[in-house]
A and B are shown apart, each in its own frame.
Chain A
Amino acid sequence: MYWNSFSEFLAMGSHGLYVWGSVGVMTVAMILEPVLLIKGQKELISRLKRQFRAERSEQRVGRNADRATPSQG
């Protein structure tokens, strides 16, 4: 291990702001990107499912109506 103390590690020889600024932004970006992707995929899946369910129920209603009409007539 190269560092003597934790505060020395944080200070980065007076370049702490620059080093941790890069580390921070890079970490945030690399966490945010997959999180947003997962969120987007979940939204897409639920949207598609809703759409499919709506289509299926429409079909069912249509079929029931077909079956219903001759008996009435």
Chain B
Amino acid sequence: MGNTSIKNIYKSSYLSRNLWSGFLFGVGIVAFLDETLFHQLLHWHHFYDQSTTNVGLVSDGFFHAFSWFATIGGLFLFADLRRREGLWLRRWWGGILLGAGVFQLYDGLIQHKLMRLHQIRYVDNVLAYDFVWNGIAVIMIIIGAVILRNTRKSAEGEGGA
């Protein structure tokens, strides 16, 4: 057995950990960009909107707290994968795109529209912003899911061979 095949066994035994480390970090990245870029730098998002529903406040509170934990927890999982030599960067990136896309879509559809937490920007044609926002989210989910499917298949292929 060569060195590479040992590494491959490590890789495939940490399939889900690679996914979750990326997923959590992806959620964290989106939340962080949302806060720094859209709240603090551009001032497009508002801290509080008069039409915010109570369930929107609760949802925002939980997702804000979770994303804080996810950023740090995801990075510690990354460090854990590295010390176990089980890091599979491609699969990790797939996890990031899936996590980022899922959270952005939840934020864009459920929190912005359904719970009316706040809008992306307070302009007349907010629909265009919504379209771009959620479109990017869907694209990230699709690319992430494809990467995750391919990496799983290649791991299974190696296992069978």
Q: Do A and B come from one complex?
A: no
Chain B interface (Cβ < 8 Å from any Cβ of A): none
Residues of A within 8 A of B (CB): none
